[in-house]
Structure 1
């Protein structure tokens, strides 16, 4: 132990000497136009105001940049708490003397808190690293500003260089830590076996394609796009307000030639409806994602229309699972992604009501808080076992991660349902659930249960409850039977990694 302490004292002395040498070198730099810029950047980053403004700019554009802004703010929250509430209390250190740097470079208010570590450097590194994790281009744009803020703390004489290095390390670590409860988007398509019976479609011969104009991001040029790539296909634009399946089925029945494939341009709801018809008819399906979110198409790797066209041209078809739910004995309704009971349908309703004003993620967070605060627990029999739950989640296939925010499916051919529920029959269940979700510790919480199973029977006691399938609220009931149908749906997709390559090239 004495040898260890002596080594630590020697190392600390060496770091202190290096800090003084580096700080002296910085102080001796000649005056330049960079001085007021660095001083202004250091001041602008007080209380993360600079990063809040940068996040607002990035969030104005949907997609990776908006996700990067949100992840960056989450990382800043963790980095600020770690540096200001924990590290500065545990490792008090005197700041450099103000006289060390020229007067024109000094800040008007010299900080009085512990010098170690630098909170400004931690926030800068956290925001830049987290943004880059979602959008490398946005991260590259933010990185010079973050580096400038970090160095400015030495340039203005309020931090030692080692304070900045350790603060930046904390910030980068916090950016990586966000993936524990907010995983990065899946880059490769979910694994699924290639079917042995394939039908090559070059011009769309024998194909009937339904184009849903009411999908969230429907493009009025989609029918023309389909006719341009598949000139021999029949394009069906359904009448609004009527069920999609009967309209497409009628077109299939009256088609002059035997129909060999179906296609659908729309969101997850449209794809799920047509997928049930394709499965019943034993026909492969070509998916042209044109909805708002297109979760299923992204997981399968066909969220870019060019991918589907290439798969049809090559005649490569993959077999994926398709799940269904029967409500009070009615005909089964298929779902591609998720089905849920309890608070989740209410959360979907509130999210859709608020997201036009607030944006998707703030609306989703507010909806979750609203539901957990106001909802009443469901008393259900889950495969014969009586439990009380706040919400029940059923996924088509096994999702990852196994926490509160399932986001991706590594495989779509295991024939299993992903069953998760938040228990309401333990003390302080809502508080414990929220804390466990926020800290990424749901897998160890008694309020959360997850299991994979091929079938699930649910009997809800009391009044009928609504069910949400693929984000859409459906009429409810009391008895629900969920079942996974192994490799029931056949989709056009290039074999191997071609789907991912095409998506990246087109995107």
Structure 2
């Protein structure tokens, strides 16, 4: 009797698979080395050298930002943020995890070789990671710019095989890591989306047909001169005061003493100052969006001068909650958010750069610098329980969230603080990214999210910084965050039923 024949193929062991893949990698490298690449000789080695230390991508980002279109600037900033995260990961984890030697250069023509050979390990390719991270980050913000940058990024990645400094698998792994870094940055800071204005109860406010009784204070450093001009023309009875940022608070105090309606044009910090003054004087607030409308103006649905002009003429307004913090003899308000831990460092770094590159790119640069800096977690008792914290952020009102950054506000008068906490640990960067990856999940081992109307912290170390709507102050001991429900009347166009 003929025995049964086993027709199944033997399953290769993991070591055989690894050897087969390495052999294929070497064969592909030698094939690329022996192949003639028409037109590549004068271009690829120079392109490879120009990408050292990310200099090529910095130059591209600078050129994009010089166009001064908001989307191009956001794309440039997102590309550089993605590149920064990819480089950080490569240098701290990637190069140390697989110590693979560089390929031999015998098969590579002398004309292709770099004058200075890299001395780091081969896997993964840092140049490919940076190129893919930048191109993917740009494309996630602006597909048009992504299409422009992608061929350059592909050429940089291929140049590493062409010049003989990387195996093909090094390049593929680096590109995958770079693209992953771009998506991680998107999770941390989602692209802006067009959303319906936040809801809020309508209320009556003075209807100023020609603007008489409105005193508008405009910060000259935040743009919006064309919008201020439009208000002058549409509301000839309004008084407009323009001043530099260091004089805004004094101008607002003087304006509040003679106004029926206090108006402000500036960034979120300027609007925050006006809100506090309007509260003390019992005045309604008129917010004119500046050159780049802030979060509060966007949530109100105020993106053009005409939005505010129409609301002022018709007396359309809403009542909004105001967040409040108290610590000893210090007290302040916030319309958007306040935070402790690395949050104030993000604010300070952002303010250092915002004048030069704009608010959103400055925020991305600030995040990179803070993630790379050495920090230790703050310690405090949160509602009676001692915790080490990297970050505590309280938003004024519930927000839609994708990652640890606040998204669109849902309601301007819901009586809630939207609190996000990143617990203390060994490295802030890993924990912040883990919190971002958790997305809409309310809890994870490294972060938590809760909505409440009051939060009390005690045993806060002296000199701890608290940031509120772009302003920074020192707190210590006990810090209380709560709400002033419906405390402020703000002009906004009411929705048409």
| TM-score, normalization by structure 2 | 0.68
Deviation at 1:77, TM superposition (A): 3.3
Deviation at 1:133, TM superposition (A): 2.9
Q: Which consecutive residues of structure 1, in runs of 5 or more, have no partner in the other structure?
A: 254-260, 424-428, 497-507
Give the equivalent residue in structure 1 for 2:337.
Answer: 338
Question: Are the aligned partners of 2:200 and 2:411 in contact in 1 as well (CA < 8 Å)?
Answer: no
Equivalent in 64, 83, 93 of residue 72 of structure 1: 83
Deviation at 1:396, TM superposition (A): 1.1
Cα pair distance change 1:12/1:315, threshold 3 Å? farther
1:125 counterpart SS class? helix
Cα pair distance change 1:39/1:206, threshold 3 Å? same
Equivalent in 250, 258, 280 of residue 251 of structure 1: 258
Give the equivalent residue in structure 2 for 1:177.
Answer: 184
2:236 counterpart SS class? coil
2:123 counterpart of 1:124: no
2:238 counterpart of 1:230: no
2:442 counterpart of 1:436: no
2:222 counterpart of 1:217: yes
Question: Are the aligned partners of 1:207 and 1:263 in contact in 2 as well (CA < 8 Å)?
Answer: no
Deviation at 1:41, TM superposition (A): 1.6
Cα pair distance change 1:378/1:48, threshold 3 Å? closer
Give the equivalent residue in structure 2 for 1:264.
Answer: 264
Give the equivalent residue in structure 2 for 1:297.
Answer: 297
Taking the aligned partners of 2:493 and 2:396, their CA distance within structure 1 comes to: 19
1:418 counterpart SS class? strand
Give the equivalent residue in structure 2 for 1:192.
Answer: 198
Question: Are the aligned partners of 1:455 and 1:482 in contact in 2 as well (CA < 8 Å)?
Answer: yes
Give the equivalent residue in structure 2 for 1:482.
Answer: 481
Cα pair distance change 1:106/1:184, threshold 3 Å? same
Question: Are the aligned partners of 1:204 and 1:231 in contact in 2 as well (CA < 8 Å)?
Answer: yes
Map residues 318-357 of structure 1 onto 2, 5 A cutoff. Answer: 320-326=320-326, 333-340=332-339
Deviation at 1:266, TM superposition (A): 2.1
Deviation at 1:126, TM superposition (A): 1.7
Question: Are the aligned partners of 1:190 and 1:301 in contact in 2 as well (CA < 8 Å)?
Answer: yes
Give the equivalent residue in structure 2 for 1:37.
Answer: 43
1:334 counterpart SS class? strand
Taking the aligned partners of 1:46 and 1:464, their CA distance within structure 2 comes to: 40
Cα pair distance change 1:291/1:27, threshold 3 Å? same
Question: Are the aligned partners of 1:419 and 1:450 in contact in 2 as well (CA < 8 Å)?
Answer: yes
Taking the aligned partners of 1:17 and 1:379, their CA distance within structure 2 comes to: 56
Taking the aligned partners of 2:239 and 2:266, their CA distance within structure 1 comes to: 16
2:288 counterpart of 1:288: yes
Taking the aligned partners of 1:146 and 1:372, their CA distance within structure 2 comes to: 33
Question: Are the aligned partners of 1:310 and 1:494 in contact in 2 as well (CA < 8 Å)?
Answer: no
2:264 counterpart SS class? strand
Taking the aligned partners of 1:388 and 1:478, their CA distance within structure 2 comes to: 14
Cα pair distance change 1:478/1:76, threshold 3 Å? closer
How many pairs align?
470
Taking the aligned partners of 2:494 and 2:104, their CA distance within structure 1 comes to: 61
Give the equivalent residue in structure 2 for 1:397.
Answer: 397
More strand by share: 2
Taking the aligned partners of 2:429 and 2:122, their CA distance within structure 1 comes to: 34
Deviation at 1:131, TM superposition (A): 3.0
